[in-house]
Each structure stands twice: as structure tokens, then as C-alpha cells.
Amino acid sequence: MIIVTSLTKLHARAIKWAVHWILKILFAPFKLIWLFAKHLALAFLATPGILWRVPVKTYRGLVKARNWLLDKVTYLEQESQKWKTTFMMLKSPYTLLLKMGFTPQMAASLLIGTSAIGGGVVVNETILTEKSFARGDSGQYVTDTSREIPVVWNEQFNTLRVDLGATAIKELSIDSVSIGNVFAGSSIPSPNTTAIDVGGRGDVDTWLIVGHLIFEKNRCDTLLMTSIQTRELVVDSNVSDGQSLAMGAGSHIPRSVNMGHHSTTMSTTSGMYDRIQISPPTSGTNGQVDELRISNAYTRGGACWLHRIKAGKISILDNMIGEGDGLANKDFEIQNSVTASNITNTNNVEFVVALPATLAADS
């Protein structure tokens, strides 16, 4: 009896096992079809997300690489400019001392090795005997020859004159200077009537070609602009004792000055002159400067005159103009011979402006 029961159980298990595998084999294709359909559906649902994430991720990677490259380029440009400025300052110890905050007199004293005797000064002639533009010395400078050393200089000639010939200048900068009779003992040299004279010469039919002319933060008795052609003219935030701004519309090409191997930079700071003149002196040869900047010039006793200029852009910014003769007299005048393709004329105010006081000669 026990044996029969055991055989029956084994027989039942065998049948169950056989049925299980028969069913498993029979339904295996359906399971494979179900798994394939399931994964196909999941892949279909995931496709939009993949299509969205891949371009975004790629774009972010490109932006990251671009920013890295631009950061390196910006850094190298800044370092290049710093080294350039350093070499220029080392080339002129006088300019280096001025950048450190010394007054022109103190800087000259430290470099020249002066000693006061009876109210006078004894100068060591072996040091700094050569005059230079960067040091703020007056004289006549010719860009076709020696740009930094004056071709004409003497104690009676206190004009800063720059003659622009065939050699183009990358940058010409004059900053923080006193001109005319604004300091005691000086005057505009006769027969001239201008403290600042910038432009071509009508007598020899020359023009001053400028990429960008910046005339900013200057103090002028009068400011006159005539015979100027520029692509863009910006006249902004000037205060004047009367003004007449009659510039007209014109169609002018963009301009920049290509220097090639002749390019150089002329920069001076803190000089004291009886007059400044920048012009092309010879017939048939126009002067060329890519960037001409006159900033913080303090003038008295003569006019500021910009004329016979062809430029890409001219910026007249934050100047104070007036000789105390009332608003009826137009001390700031832009004549209709000044034309531009694009003109910005904003925040220019008429206000009573008196002549500046005369400064001490050593201030």
C-alpha cells in the first residue's frame, strides 16, 4: 500500500513537471515577442529625450570650449599690453616716475640729479640731455624721421609741434597738459591765435586722416570745428558759454589707418606748452593717425581748432568751453562744413563759463 502511494506521488510530480515545461516551451515565443515589444516601446518613449539632450549637451560643450579659448585670448592680450606698457615706461624713466605719482618737477629732479644754488638749478648734463616726446618736452617732431626726438628744440621755442608725413602713426596721445597763458610767464606765440590747432593745411591742400579722433575733458576758451568729414560724429556732455552746433548730414566711408611696419605709438603726459600744433606740413602728403587722443588739456589765451579732417569717428566729449563773454557769443561752434553719416548730439549744455585763473609756473 505504501509503495503504491509513493509511485502515485512520483507519477503526479512527473506529470506536473512535464506539463510545466510543455507550457513553457509553447509560450516561449510569446514571451520573446512581449519582451521585444516592451523594449521597443521603452526605446520609442526615450527617443525624444535623447534627441533633446544630445544637441543641448553638445552645445554646452561647445560653449564651454569657446569660453575657455576666449579667456585665454583675453588673458594673452592683457599680458601683451602690460608688457608693451612696461617696456615703454622703462624706455622713458621720466614717464615711469610720472605713472608712479611724482610731479613733473620731482621726477626731473630725481632723474637729473639737481641741486638748488641761490634760487637756481644746477643740472648734471650727462643725464637726460636728450629731449623726447614721451618726457613732455616741447619742440618740433617729424614722424617721417625721429618720432621721439625733436628735430628742432631751443629754450625759446615752447610749442609742441607734430608734423605728420608719409609715415602713419598707430596712436598719438596727449594727456594732462597746460597750454597757452594758463600758467604764469607763458603766452600764445605771435602771430598765432590758437592754443590747440589740429588738422590739415589749406595752403598746401593737405588733410589729417584719422581712424578715431577723441577730444575729451579739455578746457578751451573757444572750440571751433570746420571742414570735417567723418563716418560717425559723437558730440556729448559738453558745457559751453554759448554754442552753435550746425553739423550736417553726409555720406562718408568708414576709415581706419593701416600702418604696416611703420606703426608706432607716441604718448606724452603732464607737459606745459605755449601751443600745440598737429598737422601734415608738406604739399600732397596727408597726415595719418589711427587713434588721436587729446585729453585733459587745460588751455587759456587761444582757441581750440579742429579742421580739414577726414575720419572714421570723431568723439567730442565732456569738454568745458568758454571765455566769459556771455551766452550770446557762441564759444563752441561746429560749422555746416562738418558733415557725418551718423550724428549723436546729446547732453550739450549752455552755461556761463569764465576764463580759468592763471596758474603758477611750477604747478
pLDDT at 146 over 90: no
pLDDT at 67: 85
Mean pLDDT of 123-140: 69
Query: To the nearest whole number, what is the mean pLDDT of the chain?
Result: 81
pLDDT at 61: 80
pLDDT at 149: 83
- pLDDT band (50, 70, 90) for residue 166: confident
pLDDT at 93 over 70: no
| Tens digit of each residue's pLDDT (9 = 90 or more) over 172-231 | 999 999 999 887 778 898 899 999 999 999 888 899 999 999 999 999 999 999 999 999
Mean pLDDT of 81-86: 69
| Tens digit of each residue's pLDDT (9 = 90 or more) over 231-253 | 999 999 999 999 999 999 999 99
pLDDT at 116: 36
> What is the 3-class SS of the chain, one letter each residue?
CHHHHHHHHHHHHHHHHHHHHHHHHHHHHHHHHHHHHHHHHHHHHHHHHHHHHHHHHHHHHHHHHHHHHHHHHHHHHHHHHHHHHHHHHHHCHHHHHHHCCCCHHHHHHHHHCCEEECCEEECCCCCCCCCCCCCCCCEEEECCCCCCCCCECCCCCCEEEEECCCCCEEEEEEEEEEEECCECCCCCCCCCCEEEEEECCCCCCCCEEEEEEEEECCEECCEEEEEEEEEEEEEECCEECCEEECCEECCCCCCCCCCHHHCCEEEEECCEECEEEEECCCCCCCEEEEEEEEEEEEEECCEEEEEEEEEEEEEEECCEECCCCCCCCCCEEECCCEEEEEEEEECCEECCCCCCCCECCCC
